[in-house]
Structure 1
């Protein structure tokens, strides 16, 4: 599979070869992300206009588009500059006016000679009790009126490209469609009643009515499925290439895990026990584990992760846990330390801060196998970090990690199993799109001892009451977070917002009580401020969103979020999850600046109603759309042209099982269907998948 198959050549040529597309139009189309004929045929019409012929405009409501045959009565050129040119016309039942601005009279007289019959089509308007059409879209002699389609597709346009040019270019691209082999499983296609690929494209570009523009129309569904299937095939190839690397069978005798369980003050939840069984079974298999451990804030991922690390240690190997930031790595260390002591396991941390002799000593201990569990940041990727026998790598907060990094990490240990943890509940369709190469374990129960959090909405005008409430709580020995919004994108103003609030709270509550953490601080200062808060030296921590992920202070039971309406749902949910970690009843105050917009109100009310992260994530997806939800740029989330992740999650699940089945039946993609699937991967520009086939 050396290069792109020749059969696809017509779809990957220059746009300029298409009808009506010169260098200027090609440049304009690039703004719509259209660079070649392939992009054009995948740009489907998003609306349509009914242009079926009517007898008269008499009963047509204003705002509707209508097509009617008329007799031209008379021309009324403008009396002064800047006034419109009018042509009075008549259909079978009523007279009306065609209106043109900046028009040349001689051109209009040629187009609409007095006494002639024409067919006109355009948007009907009512003006001073008169019917008019301003700048009709079509004016044609009756014998040429067939050129007006009954239902005209409407495309996304960009300044300088009109509908006529776009339609012409699309048509010209459709004329070049090659006849491609079928990559969809024949039984599936028959069951769904889907057309073939080229037929589906032609139908989608020539809808007969509004029903055919819907995502549920068979032609559109098939084209969406092609995109999802190509994407899932890429993930299935990635998964296969990880599994091809021989895994190691890692089974432990349970002695260390039993010690930890005996020391716990509670019994693990059913969800924790289930996840542990799934992970242990994967580690004991010959193929490499690639599993995602998904759990809401406070679902008890740390315990599950540590038990998995103990399986590696029981088997005589080492485990590593990687966090995205130094603060989080240190926190994992603090959370794991008591468990490690119960188990009698040597636990260490390695971050960018380790230098010189200390770093060399840690690396030597690691290579000799004296360190059994290592916690760290991406500093673990450096070439001089070598394990004696790495069996399990755990990556925290996946969405900062793409498929490529997952592979790089597992390459560190020859055949090490990989477990990814995320505290961001992701709706199923997105989980499939982003982690389709992995198996998923979900922690959907809260461990006992977690107190529910009371969430309230407070208008910013009641700031003084909130400060008084804080004063009382501090007097009782409670601690609070006060989160300031990130103002715009500029870090300077963000900083001033936090510093202003810090000064005012310090003035109100006392010098020693209030601490400050923001993104512009040197890491050492940030850590010191966090540590003072963790140890209870300060009672209130003013922070920008740097505290969002993972910071754990069990005594903190109040969370104030200022300008909560500026934050996304998932972010608010994550922030709220910083409290409610201890025994005290916790509150989260969402402060907003009235009036609230519709979207903001819905977000804040959703939070007030539920603490279920998965419900919140589904709502977030419905409100914001998929690209926004994980931030398309950093999520590696594919950009689909046709498929709609929010509404087609069932198709995505189907595509995943189909892709995995094809890989199981035909790992080299050599069969007839496999070869067709290769063509699909090239067509959908899945370069990563193509590289994987080559390696394979």
Structure 2
């Protein structure tokens, strides 16, 4: 849903069926695109424009699309073949006689009169002097599209571009006067932005390229400014209101705990631990993002923070995206904390009713020190005695609302959010503007780089030989594929079929199977057997992407790797290389698929997660990179976090300056923005003292 102020409420309350021509079936198809109201229709922006402006032929390169105006010189010739048709005629354009060709447009034959003017849009073949026509119109019937930039929208079902364009034009004509201004005059002047009402009109129907660019620039700035306003308002409040928990933390206790770990902390981990404990000692609620590459040791840093909160008489909560990861953390942290008498419990959706009831009672009475779980942690019946620290792992997989609910289960507890999907620090500071950012940029000591190769599908015999060689050394293999079962739509290997094929090809090896549709008990059994070394190969979907730790696994094979994003491939690669044995990653891919070759080259060029993330952002854009719409980073309608980074920084600075002014919280000029904060970010919108 788009950001909007209280003044716009009426527009976003008017059903889209109020627009002429939007029947109930059409409204259903619009709803599938996220458009249910007039306001959403008006803010349904085009993703590009079709250029119907006339261009001289001599400026056009071979193979380019062009719109030209000419005169019909010969009667049309219609050819039919196999149920299809081809229509040809000769047209004079700028004194040049060219051939115009239409495919499957036989109905135009009767309109092709010699001497009649015609406008043609199509692909130019310079050698043949031929134009393959995609669209055409006659000037004597009216202006039509000629000379315009026509918006192109994402559509589906039976919707057409022409129909969507007409509905948006009708909506703007009928309701355009209700579009209010959101930005204060000083920001419009500072950045030379056109008024909002004009920008929305122009973005749908620009007179020229420059006008369209200016309209987009205005709306991109607004989108990013409103996003940053939420973050900066929260940040300003958090700095002003000392209502968090000032943890009493002994440095000696932390050093003793770290000294008893089965490994030595890296310098980067020590730095991050100091940053986190320093925050926890302050009376302000900590709001920190911890990012680090796969295998960099974020979990042990979180464990130290949880230990610190429990030592101060508080409880800790760790929320993770999947049950299998929650179960693994519960086992590893339970073992780590056992010598200190710290009680660790697991809360997931698969807990039995009686077991769950007992656990919740113990949690509320304070008998449980640390609880680890999935979204089950944010259900209404979960209460804490004194929640001091909330940790979320893979924070981008949880929506802002989900994290906020968990935070409200305590009195402003400290919050530590972790992600193994690193992004450049400057971008992290800007996008996660309400957080301080800590980065672990160092591998644990003794870890060898993972050697990565990519091969085509016809090299499967060599891949199987690689598995056998690792098995002879006593090592294990992950074999990942994108689907659980066969799909008619995607020609990709699936886990169930692959499991059967590998069992037939390598009967001497124990081969397990793990996927998301298995019951929790089945997943536990499959993962437990693999972790214990009882199975040599684990065929799996991407449920192993995050957090699953099997040090003896040294080979990661990814089938149809071109179907995965770069950051996801890097996450999968990080499941191996967790011991002092040399580890490998083999990507089986079709280099001809979209971005396939670029992704494979990136994976073999570097194992630096930050560099991988940068390339992933370039290839896929931020929407896919950060995950679904539940992500902490929204899927912006217009803005692109890579291309519009300078605008994002401007918006951040403007929002920070504005929220730091006492007048922002009282002056009538900012009432619309305060209404926006109260509605879109209720936790952030109380006025400052």
Pairwise TM-score range, normalised by the shorter structure: 0.7 to 0.9
Single out whichever of 236-245 and 402-411 deviates more from structure 2: 236-245
**SS in structure 2 at match of 1:632:** coil
Superposition TM-score, scaled by structure 2 size: 0.80
Q: Which runs of structure 2 are paired with 1:244-259 in the superposition (5 Å)?
A: 246-259=243-256
Unaligned runs of 5+ in 2: none
Structure 2 counterpart of 1:136: 136
Which of 80-89 and 388-397 deviates more? Answer: 80-89
- TM-score normalised according to structure 1 size: 0.80
Residues 38 and 179 of structure 1: CA distance in aligned 2, closer, same or farther (over 3 Å): same
Deviations 1:122-180 (A, max 9, x none): 55867986789786335149xx87x9875434433756656598269538716854487
* Superposition deviation, residue 500 in structure 1: 0.5
Cα distance, 1:504–1:661 mapped onto 2, change above 3 Å: farther
Change (3 A) 1:309 1:661: farther
Q: Which residue of 2 aligns with 1:102?
A: 107
SS in structure 2 at match of 1:346: coil
Residue of structure 1 aligned with 2:327, choices 311, 327, 330: 330
SS at match of 1:536: coil
Shift of 1:580: 0.8
Q: Secondary structure at the match of 1:674?
A: helix
C-alpha distance in structure 2 between counterparts of 1:562 and 1:185, whole Å? 53
Q: Secondary structure at the match of 1:412?
A: coil
Residues 394 and 419, structure 1, Cα contact 8 Å, conserved in 2: yes
Structure 1 residues 163-562: aligned runs within 5 Å: 163=162, 166=165, 169-170=168-169, 173=172, 177-178=176-177, 183-184=182-183, 189-205=188-204, 207=206, 209-210=208-209, 213=212, 217-236=213-232, 246-264=243-261, 267-337=264-334, 339-340=336-337, 344-352=340-348, 366-381=363-378, 385-426=382-423, 435-487=432-484, 494-504=494-504, 507-509=507-509, 513-562=510-559
- Match of 2:508, SS state, is helix
Q: What is the SS of the residue equivalent to 1:450? A: coil
C-alpha distance in 2 between matches for 1:15 and 1:422: 39
Q: Secondary structure at the match of 1:387?
A: coil
**Counterpart residue number, 2:680:** 688
| Structure 2 residue corresponding to 1:658, chosen from 654, 657, 667 | 654
Shift of 1:662: 3.0
C-alpha distance in structure 1 between counterparts of 2:351 and 2:504, whole Å: 37
- Aligned residue for 1:43? 45
**Once the 2 structures are TM-superposed, how far is the Cα of residue 647 of structure 1 from its aligned partner?**
1.6
- Contact 1:668–1:693 (CA under 8 A) maintained in structure 2: no
How far apart are residue 280 of structure 1 and its match? Answer: 2.1
Deviation of 1:45 after TM superposition, in Å, equals: 7.0
- The answer to whether the Cα contact below 8 Å between 1:252 and 1:315 also exists between their aligned partners in 2 is yes
Say if 1:88 and 1:252 are closer, same or farther in 2 by CA, change over 3 A. Answer: closer
Alpha-carbon distance in 2 for matches of 1:87, 1:472:
67
CA distance in 2, matches of 1:367, 1:164: 57
Instruction: Report the counterpart of residue 569 of structure 1 in structure 2.
Output: 566
8 Å contact kept, 2:511–2:535: yes
1:451 deviation in Å?
Answer: 1.5
**CA distance in 2 between partners of 1:474 and 1:408 (Å):** 46
Tell me if structure 2 keeps the 8 A contact 1:429–1:646: no
8 Å Cα contact 1:25-1:161 kept in structure 2: no
Distance in 2 (CA, whole Å) between partners of 1:267 and 1:504 is 44
- Measured against aligned partners, the alpha-carbon deviations of 1:600-627 in whole angstroms (never above 9, x if no partner) come to 2222221111111122122222222232
CA contact (8 A) 1:485 1:494 kept: yes
Query: What is the CA–CA distance in structure 2 between the aligned matches of 1:119 and 1:528, rounded to whole Å?
Result: 71
Matched, 1:638 2:634: yes
The worse-fitting range, judged by mean Cα deviation, of 620-629 and 608-617 is: 620-629
Q: For 1:61 and 1:356, how far apart are their aligned partners in 2?
A: 70
Q: Could you tell me how far apart the structure 2 residues matched to 1:542 and 1:496 are?
A: 8
Rg larger for:
1
Match of 1:611, SS state, is coil
- Larger mean CA deviation between 581-590 and 235-244 belongs to 235-244
**Counterpart-to-counterpart distance in 1, 2:319 and 2:78:** 75
The equivalent of 1:602 in structure 2 is 598
> Is 1:625 matched with 2:630?
no
CA distance in 2, matches of 1:273, 1:137: 70
Q: Distance in 2 between matches of 1:60 and 1:619?
A: 31
Q: How far apart are the structure 1 equivalents of 2:539 and 2:205?
A: 58
Match of 1:102, SS?
A: helix
State how far apart, in whole Å, the 2-side matches of 1:415 and 1:379 are.
20
Q: CA deviation at 1:402?
A: 1.1
Q: Secondary structure at the match of 1:440?
A: strand
Between stretches 189-198 and 247-256, larger displacement belongs to 189-198
CA distance in 1, matches of 2:513, 2:167: 60
Q: CA deviation at 1:87?
A: 8.8
Q: Is the 8 A contact 2:182 2:196 kept in 1?
A: no
Moved more, 296-305 or 325-334: 325-334
1: CA distance between counterparts of 2:324 and 2:625? 25
Answer yes or no: is the 8 Å Cα contact 2:6–2:672 preserved in 1. no
- Using the TM superposition, give the Cα deviation of residue 225 of structure 1 relative to its aligned residue in structure 2, in angstroms: 1.0
Contact 2:327 2:346 in 1 (8 A): no
Against the structure 1 CA distance between its residues 583 and 672, is the aligned structure 2 distance closer, same or farther, given a 3 Å change threshold?
same
CA deviations over 1:560-598 (Å, ceiling 9, x no partner): 333333333222211111111111111122234x56435
Q: Which moved more, 1:370-379 or 1:93-102?
A: 93-102
CA deviation string 1:623-642 (max 9, x = no partner): 22232234424436534322
Shift of 1:297: 0.7
The offset of 1:445, in angstroms, is 1.8
In 2: Cα distance, 1:596 partner to 1:88 partner: 39
Match of 1:613 in 2: 609
**Contact 2:566/2:599, CA 8 A, preserved across alignment:** yes
Please give the per-residue CA displacement for 1:400-424, whole angstroms capped at 9, x wherever unaligned.
3211111211122222222122222
Bigger mean CA deviation after superposition, 550-559 or 264-273: 264-273
Contact kept? 1:450, 1:583, Cα under 8 Å: yes
Mapped partners of 2:387, 2:50: distance in 1: 59
Distance 2:84 2:478 in 1: 62
Q: Distance in 1 between matches of 2:225 and 2:304?
A: 36
In the alignment of these two chains, the number of paired residues is 670
Aligned 8 A contact 1:232 1:656 in 2: yes
| Residues 379 and 199 of structure 1, relative CA distance in 2, 3 Å threshold | closer
| CA distance in 2: counterparts of 1:691 and 1:305, whole angstroms | 25
